[in-house]
Structures are given as structure tokens and as C-alpha cells.
A and B are shown apart, each in its own frame.
Chain A
Amino acid sequence: MKILVISNLYPPFVIGGYELNCANIVNAFRDRGHDVLVATTPSHIPGPPDPLHVRRCLKLSSHIPNYGVAISAESWLHRCDISDYDNVVALQQLLVEFVPDVVFLWNMHGLGTLHLIDFLNVHGVPWGIYLGDRVFEQLVNAAPHHVKAVFRGHDPGYFASGGIMAVSQHLVDEIEALGCFVFPRPPTIVHGYAITPGPSAPRTYRRDGRVRFMAAGRVSEHKGTTLICDAVAKLTAEGVGNFEVDVFGEGDIAFYVNYANALAISHCTMFHGGLTQPRLHEQFQVHDAFLFPTWSREPFAFAPFEAAAYGCVPILTSNCGCSERIVDAVHGIKIERNAEALAAAMRLVVEGTIELERIGVAAAAMVRQDLSLAGHVDKLEAVLTAQQRPWSPASLSDERTLLLAFMKHYLSLAFRFGATD
């Protein structure tokens, strides 16, 4: 297949797993012989030269500072999620030049999403989207009804007419609830995957009689770093010892180092900063359990599963997206999202009440069998293949194609910010 991938970010500039995942999938598709062209935005983070299949021709309005630019929040939202004329022009040129069999959308926030989707629909270009976050909720709630109607954005049967893939049912439910709409067809759930170099190896838990917990990801409130500190404080206050917590990742580390000091838990709670993927995988093999008391709206983080692939038992929020793949006490430990519940689970692990070995083996088997990258790519490939249909690039070359896009962009602005003429 000729696949045009569109993503707001692409390495080396990334915010989270969404765009890293995009890059993984692009490479996997290319390894399978697909002709892939990636359209994304410039990266200011130094890195190796982009390969030929990466074209940084789009304009990004999100995730960048707006210093010196006088712009209202509403105007910014409009550009991010409703319409960015420059990006429509870029898309038109890409489609004319590459003539893809299918367009594969990823995180679209910041690109003027609704207009891009409308443009694909108007010209009959088949498309699919990988929902790793609330892209559709953002575009639905980013403008009033009469503004979205310029792009037929009031009609889910239209703006969600592509092949929809979502990382969890939890995310789908959240988008429908917050966006107040129902997907015209149930999205295909494509739970994440764990890239696991090498086979699963036997491992030892509670080495030296100590339990080693770890956490990896953004060091922040919403990922549960505060809860981890509070839980550790509770355990130490109760006299529970024989454990340590290693936290890996970037974020608000200065605050949490101070917070740990204030709670007098620095001796057993350490912040190590970010690690490369290979180094992180080494840590999965020497830690007993993976703490993931993330917020309930977590769509589907990959780290708990990567840890589980090595038998590092996930302890995670019971109603987050990741929980869909975890059977409690079989593949991991599900908890309510509070410090007391997390502390209780950690205590049971430290006391040996929870059989880490049994759960770790089951979790590793589940991830390696069900959540492999190859299996994941199979699912995406199937959805994109099903989307394929003949489409004619002729309408893209029509002299009025960009005129229509121009009119829609400025009419949407007039409808939103005041028609004066």
C-alpha cells in the first residue's frame, strides 16, 4: 500500500508515546514493504537528518510557545482543531504528488484537524485514524455547531467516516461521552504492544529480601507520582521496610525530589531522570513491580505492558485504558486511584501475600502472545486495507480545489469571530 501518514509531531521532537508509536508503526509498515510517506511538522530538537520518507511540510499550532504572538485562546483552538488553511494546501500538494492508497492520521491536534478530514472526504480519499488520545473530542468541542457545520463537522457520520482505530474502549467511551456523539461504526480496538527484544527469561523476585518497585513515564501529578510518594510515606510511617522505589522519566523532578525529602522518604524513593528504551528494558528485568497509579483517563500507556513482558508486575489504576488488558490478580494488580489503595497493594507485595512469580509469568506470557508489535501491525494493516477504494486525484487538480478550502477557512472564521461585511 501507499500510505500517507500525518502526525502533528514526529521524532526527534516528541511529547509522549503517541508520536513514538507513530514512528514505530511507520518503520514496521516500511519493513513490510509498504510505501510510506510521513507528513509532519518541523522538529527543533536536534537529531539525525530525516530520512527521505519524512516530509516536514506542515505547520504546528499546538505544543509550541506563543511568545509575542497576540492570539486569543479561541483563535488558537480554531487553528489547532478546526482549520489551518496552510495545512490544507500542503495536504493537497502531498496528495497530488504521492497519490496514496490511504491516508493514515495520527495525533492531529495543532494541524487544523476538522478541515483536513473534510478535505479528504470531499475528494473521496480513503483514510484511517489511530486514536491514542481524544483527537475527535477535541475537534468536536473546539468550535460551536454553526462553525463546525462549514466543514460538516456536526455530522459524526461524516467526520468519523474513516477507519477508526483506538487504543482502548476506555478512550472510545471517553470521546463519545465528552464529545456527545456516537461513532457511526464501532472503532477497531487496537490495544498497544510491547517491543521485547529477546525471549522471556526466568527471573528472581525479592532479591536480597527487598522488593524493588519502579515507575516510568512522565513525572507528574496526572501520572500518579504524588500518589507514589504519599503511598511510600504511609508504608514507612507504618514501619514497612525492605522496599525501594525507582522513578524513571522526565517531568517535574525538582518538585518531587523536594516532596520526597519533605515526606522523609528519600532513602527509599529515587528519581533517576529519563532513560533510553534499552536501558529502561534492563530496569524492567531487575524490578519486581511497576507502579502506575495514573489518572483514569489514561488512554493506553505502553510502559506497564513493556514492564509486564519481563515479568515486572503492573500495579495500576483499575479504570484506566490499560486495565482493559489486565485481569486483576492474574496479569497485574488493579487498584483504586488513591494513596491508601496503592500503599495497601505495595504492602501486600512487600509482605509476600501477593504471588509475584505467578502473576509475573502470566503477564509476560499475555503480553508476548497478545500484544506483540507484529500482531498490532496486522490489525492496523487490516483496517487500512479495508478502507482502500478507488479514488480519483482529478478533483484535487481542479482549479477550484484550493478556492473551496480558502472559502471554508475564512467563512469559518467569519462565523466564529463575527461577520462584518
Chain B
Amino acid sequence: MRLTQHSWPSSSLLRIAHVSPAYFAEDSLIGGGERYVSYVARALREAAPSLPFSISQAVFAMGRKDHSYSDGGVPVTVFSNENPGSHPMAVMSARLWDVLAEFDLIHLHQGLTFFGCYIATIARSLGKTLIVTDLGGGENPLLLQHGGLGLADGMLSISEFAKSLVSAYFAGPHAVVVGPVDTMVFTAPKVLARPRSVISVGRLLPHKGADRIIDALPPNLPLRLVGRPYDPAYYELLHERAAGKDVTFIVDADDAALLRCYHEAGLYVHASTFVDVYGRRISKPELMGLTTLEAMATGLPVAVAKTASLPELAHDLRFCRVFPDVAALRAILEDFAAGVWPEPAAADLPRRHVVDNFSFPVVGRRIAEFYAEVHAVRLMRAHRAQFRSTNVTP
């Protein structure tokens, strides 16, 4: 993907609105979907100086009460939900009609939801360029089976796996851009002295597969599970399975503590599964695997499950391994414990890989280029239709 002769005029300003049903904060939601919006906005800001056109951007999200703040220099406006219904993804605000009218391009996040339907109809009614990203949260039949996704001008998927889930429902421009990761926050420790210990970060929910790491854990290899326990029964199950093993639960880590945990570990494991410990199937266990990229940004080698998008992050066997099941993970962990893998020479490769491919400036530029391409195509399409109409109308 690159800027072409059909791209948007370089002398112009592209006004971008990010719209999301939630925002990344304690009083809203702390999840990958919400963090992604914040990351994309900041990535675009960092990429802006290198772009052949100017951008301005703002984030609009739904919440319990009206407020606004700045997220790394990007203005965020939160509107209170005006839908009295109880559906968590059927949130809306009539005020979005007015604020979105001021932008050229609307990037809809967590798009496959009722909120996504609402924003898609506003964007199309206002004649704006609409780009949709699926970050989970729903599989709305109006958008999928009934073709509503066709209201979008482009789709930006965060992995090939994510793309594969919606490609049957969208025939327009569709880009896969993995990332971004904040490589200025997720840095490597000053001294790369990786201990023989394992870390996994994520909400302690069954589909995240922490039980599989515990089951595969060899004796005398420490494991830290960092994340909030959202499911009490599952949390208890994890404790039961961890009996007799060196497992530590850290359930209240803030950003600084999380970074320390990364720095104090020697291997990151991402064990999400599409069939959880209770036998339940999960359709979208990992659309991207942001924590794996964050771990690599801190210099950690990673072992990821052969689940959903995770294998896409692990191309280089020198610091990435993929496991299909608990037995394979056990073998990887035994190699790690024995010092067989990764090789010491690969120590700085994970971070370099992330900085080169998934850092804010790199991903921001890719996304901006996609925006410009889609926007240019939509404008051209509108002009052609106008031309045809002018020459056909009696």
C-alpha cells in the first residue's frame, strides 16, 4: 500500500474523527479495543510530519457522563449515552451528527456493533469517508448478513485473521495494519539480563488460556500472571491448578508496574484459545495480540498459541515460537528453562523487530496512507457519479 497518483491532494488537510463506543480509562473500559483507538491517534500524530499532507484529528467516545480530555495531544470528547436501553453496544448520542459533520474521514472502531450501525448511517448520510475496524465487541447481523458494512468506504483490519472474518462481507478497499505499539513506553531494560522466568499479561478470563500456561509450566520455572480477574470461578480454578507450582498473580498492576514485570521476565507467553477450559468455543479470541507486541517491545522473546491472529506475530523463530497445544508449550518452556532457546545472540531482536514494524511512526504512516487512498477513491467516485448524472439528466 502506498500513495498513488489517485491519492488525496497533498496540499490539503485531512480531518479525521475516531469514533468508539468506549474509551481507555478506569471508568470506561480497559481493553485492547479501547487502547487501540488511543494508540492509533497517537501513531498518526507521530507520523504526521512525514506525511505529504496535513492531518487533524479528534476522538469521540461514549461514556456515562459528558467530559473531554487530551490524550497525548489528541482531543477526546466523551458523550453520555442517550439510549435508555440496556444493550452495552447500542450506545449513541444525537450530538455525533453535529460534531462529525466537521470532519472529512470517520474511522469507526469496534465497528461491528449497533453503535457501529449508528455511526455508519451518520457517516453515509453526511457524505463522509468511512473506515471501519473490527476490534471485537459484536458481530451485528445488520452489518454482516444484511450488508450494512457496505456503507463503509474502507476497512482497516488489525490482522489477517481479523480480515478473514469480515472479508466475505466487504468488497471494498481492505488493508491489514498490525499495531501500533508505544515503543517509547514499552522499552527494553537498561541491562538485558533476562532471568529464567515467564510472564503472561491479560485479563484473567477463560479464553485467555492462562490455565494452559500453568499446566505446561515445568517445575522450578517461575510464572507471573498479570491481569485483572474478571471471572471469580475461573480465578479460583487457576489457583487450584497453580498449587505446587511457582505461580504469582498480579491483579492490580498499573502501567509502571507492568513495565517492571516485563523487565523482570525472560519470556512472554500468549496462550489464548478458541476452546476454553470449560469447552466453550470463542469466535474471536485474539484479533491482534497487542500484549505480545508490547512484550517484544520490551525485548522479550515470545511463545504464542496457534490461535487466531497470534501466529502472524511470530515469523522469526530466533525469538518467536508458536505452540498448538499444552504439550508443545511445555516443550518450549523446557527449552527456555534449559537455556536452549532463545539464543543469547537474539537478545535485541524482538525490540528491533517491533520498532521497525509496529512503532507509532511506522504504523501511523501506513494508516494515514490508507486513509488518503480510500478518501481519494471515494471523492473520485462521487465526482464520477456527479458527472454521469449531469450528463444524463434531461
Contact = CB atoms under 8 A, between A and B. Distances in A.
Interface of A: 99, 118, 122, 144-146, 149-150, 152, 154-155, 158, 392-395, 397-400, 403-404, 406-408, 410-411, 414-415, 418-421
A411 B97 contact: no
Given A150-B121, A154-B94, A411-B117, A419 B87 contact: yes
B305 interface: no
B114 A406 contact: no
Given A149-B94, A395-B385, A419-B114, A407 B120 contact: yes
A403 B386 contact: no
B334 to A, nearest CB: 45
A415 B142 contact: no
A99 B390 CA distance: 12
Given A118-B125, A150-B121, A394-B388, A99 B393 contact: yes
A406 B82 CA distance: 22
A404 B97 contact: no
B84 A410 contact: no
Given A155-B94, A400-B151, A403-B151, A411 B142 contact: yes
B124 A414 contact: no
B125 A122 contact: yes
A418 B85 contact: yes
- Chief secondary structure at chain A's binding surface: helix
Given A154-B94, A392-B389, A394-B382, 16 more contacts: A99-B393, A146-B83, A146-B92, A152-B125, A392-B390, A395-B385, A397-B389, A403-B150, A404-B124, A407-B121, A407-B148, A414-B114, A415-B92, A418-B85, A421-B114, A421-B140
A390 to B, nearest CB: 10
B142 A414 contact: yes
B305 to A, nearest CB: 28
A164 B22 CA distance: 40
B259 interface: no
A407 B138 contact: no
Most buried by A among B120, B142, B150: B142
Interface string B130-153: 000000001111100011101100
Contacts of B124: 400, 404
Nearest to A152: B97
A404 B389 contact: no
A410 B145 CA distance: 13
25 contacts: A144-B84, A146-B84, A146-B94, A149-B97, A152-B125, A155-B97, A155-B98, A392-B389, A392-B390, A394-B389, A397-B385, A398-B385, A400-B150, A407-B142, A407-B148, A408-B121, A411-B114, A411-B117, A414-B114, A414-B117, A414-B142, A419-B90, A421-B138, A421-B139, A421-B140
A154 B146 CA distance: 27
Nearest to B143: A407
Interface in B59-97: 82-85, 87, 89-90, 92-94, 97
A150 B147 CA distance: 18
A272 B146 CA distance: 57
Nearest to B147: A403
A118 B389 CA distance: 21
Contacts of B93: 149
Contacts of B147: 403
B148 to A, nearest CB: 5
Contact of A149 (B87, B92, B148): B92
Contacts of A394: 382, 385-386, 388-390
A398 B84 CA distance: 34
Contacts of A397: 385, 388-389
Contact of B83 (A99, A399, A415): A415
A343 to B, nearest CB: 51
Contacts of A152: 94, 97, 125
B219 interface: no
B142 to A, nearest CB: 6
| Count class of interface residues, chain B | 35 or more
Interface of B: 82-85, 87, 89-90, 92-94, 97-98, 114, 117-118, 120-121, 124-125, 138-142, 146-148, 150-151, 382, 385-386, 388-390, 393-394
A415 B90 contact: yes
B126 to A, nearest CB: 9
A145 B85 CA distance: 12
Given A400-B124, A415-B90, A419-B90, A393 B389 contact: yes
Given A407-B117, A407-B120, A415-B83, A421 B141 contact: yes
Which 6 pairs, one residue from A and one from B, show the smallest C-beta to C-beta distance?
A394-B389, A149-B94, A394-B385, A419-B90, A419-B87, A146-B83
Contact of A410 (B92, B146, B388): B146
B151 A407 contact: yes
Nearest to A158: B97
A257 B139 CA distance: 64
Residue from B84, B120, B121, B394 whose CB has the most chain A CB atoms within 10 Å: B121
Contacts of A144: 84
B223 to A, nearest CB: 38
A259 B156 CA distance: 74
A102 B393 CA distance: 15
Contact of B148 (A145, A403, A415, A418): A403
Contacts of A400: 124, 150-151
Nearest to A148: B94
Q: Which of B85, B98, B151, B393 has the most C-beta atoms of chain A within 10 angstroms of its own C-beta?
A: B85
A150 B141 CA distance: 18
Contacts of A155: 94, 97-98
A419 B386 contact: no
B388 to A, nearest CB: 6
Contacts of B83: 146, 415
A175 B121 CA distance: 28
B15 to A, nearest CB: 20
A7 to B, nearest CB: 26
Contacts of B120: 407
Nearest to B89: A419
A146 B388 contact: no
Contacts of A410: 142, 146
Nearest to A122: B125
B121 A414 contact: no
Contacts of B90: 414-415, 419
A403 B388 CA distance: 21
Most buried by B among A403, A418, A421: A421
Contact of B94 (A145, A393, A404, A408): A145
A373 to B, nearest CB: 31
Contact of A411 (B85, B89, B118, B386): B118
A406 B118 contact: no
B91 to A, nearest CB: 9
Contacts of A154: 94
A237 B150 CA distance: 75
A404 B141 contact: no
A403 B172 CA distance: 15
Nearest to B144: A421
